[in-house]
Amino acid sequence: MQRRGAKALNMKKTSLILLLLLSAVLRPAAAQQPMTLHDCMEYALSHATKLRIRQAETGDARIARRDALLAVFLPNINGSTSAYYNFGRNIDPETNTYINTVSFNNGYSLSASITLFNGFSAVNNLKISQTSLKMGKTRELQAEADICLAVMEAYYNVLYYQKLLEIYESQVATAEQLVQKVRRQEELGQKGHADVVQLEADLADRRYDLVNTRNLLADHRVNLEDLLFWPGDEPLVIDDGVTALVPQPATGDSGLVDYALAHNPAVRLAAWTVENARLELNTAKWQILPSVSLSSGWSTSYYSYQGNQTTPYFDMLRSNAGEYIAMSVSIPIFNRLSRQSNIARRRNALVRATAEYDQKQRDVESEVRRAVQDRDGAEAAYEQAERKAEVQQEAYALNTRKMEQGLISPLEYQTAANNYLRAGADRLNSLFKFLIKQSIVRYYGGEEYINQ
């Protein structure tokens, strides 16, 4: 009886486990949480191939800095060994005469060398590598900014067409109800057939705009998914809370241009390019001077002949050991003017880098001033669009009541509805434009897009 009870209990446990597993499998997947703009930026930065490429380039620059640092302070050390048999005629190292026998030779050597002076090439290379590492990190920041700005524009485009789609859906529903009402009034003799045709034509136009807007929304959604590297088999849901998007009033922009010229990644990259070009020119100039190097080494060998009694292995290695220390000076005399040509090329590179730096400063200054002007213009347009949308909404509500009471014609009501629809779309468009322009100005002021 106890065995039967235990067996029944085990069967119940097994059934319970199977039911739990089956319910876990059949349970519907949790709905995706809507992604905010900040979430989209973070997701894009964590999956962007452009940023991964920049990070790999920064890794190469970090390795180059390490190699340049070791080249300044550490010598080159080499070790070698050899072992071989000679068959036939060879030279006896003891008597320096030819003998005809089988011999065995084994040798070891260790050497080290360091450059004492080579025209400050190693020091300049270290400085160049340090600057290149800074440039690599700055390129990463620049790539992050480009990705975030592209995601922001795509996100607002999707949000705009989502809201525009909701407006068109509401207008189509209202137009359908109105058409049904006017048809009923036609049956009762209160409206003419021309009024019905006019409203049906208006309904067809709104349905066309609805389909066209839905297609544009799908296109911009695909663009956003491409920027995010979003999985194609998963739907992307974004937070459509327009009410949370409250633009901040424009603040004072004094010193914005100076700050951008000192901290903008593009300007800093151009400045570091000039610095590296100057260091490379100095290196080329110093190459006309002699280079001095110091080296030292140790070597030993062992040999034996077939049939001859030789010194024990380790005793011979100790007796044959030798050391050396040497200093060498290399003086360039004539190399077909290659050094002079290299100096001329480096000088031209410095002139080109300086000109590009001046041009980049001018470009960034123009971009900042244009960004401020665009933001101010977008802010003014948004304020006017806000007022126009409020007025058109009130006018549309009044005309809707008049249409229901038969006080205006369908053509007048259609005009009022179109004005209301256009005002709502203009308000959304001006809002998103102002948000983007405002973010660009704040970025030039030192605030990263993802931190705004």
Asked if the 30-74+118-289+337-451 domain carries CATH number 3.40.50.450, the reply is no
Beta strands in 265-321, from DSSP E residues, in sequence order: 291-305
What residue ranges do the domains of the chain occupy? Answer: 30-74+118-289+337-451
Q: CB atoms < 10 A from the CB of 180, how many?
A: 11
Residue partners of 68: CB distance under 8 A and separation at least 6:
122, 125, 126, 128, 129
Q: Tell me the two tokens of residue 302.
A: 């062992």
CA dihedral 194, 196, 200, 201 (to 10 degrees): 20
Contact criterion met (CB below 8 Å) for 143 and 174 = no
What's the confidence (pLDDT) of residue 250?
59
Cβ atoms 277, 346 nearer than 8 A: yes
DSSP code of 234? Answer: S
CB 150 within 8 A of CB 223: no
Q: What per-residue confidence (pLDDT) applies to 347? A: 96
Q: Which residues of the chain have pLDDT under 50?
A: 1-9, 12-30
Give CA–CA dist 116/327, Å, rounded. Answer: 10
Phi, psi of 112, rounded to the nearest 5 degrees: -145, 145
What is the model's pTM? 0.79
Cα gap 73→115, rounded to integer Å: 10
Rounded to whole angstroms, the Cα distance separating 76 from 72 reads: 11
Distance CA 207, CA 445 (A): 45
Query: Mutual orientation of helices 49-73 and 121-187 as an angle, nearest 10°?
Result: 170
Helices (H), 28-120: 37-47, 49-73
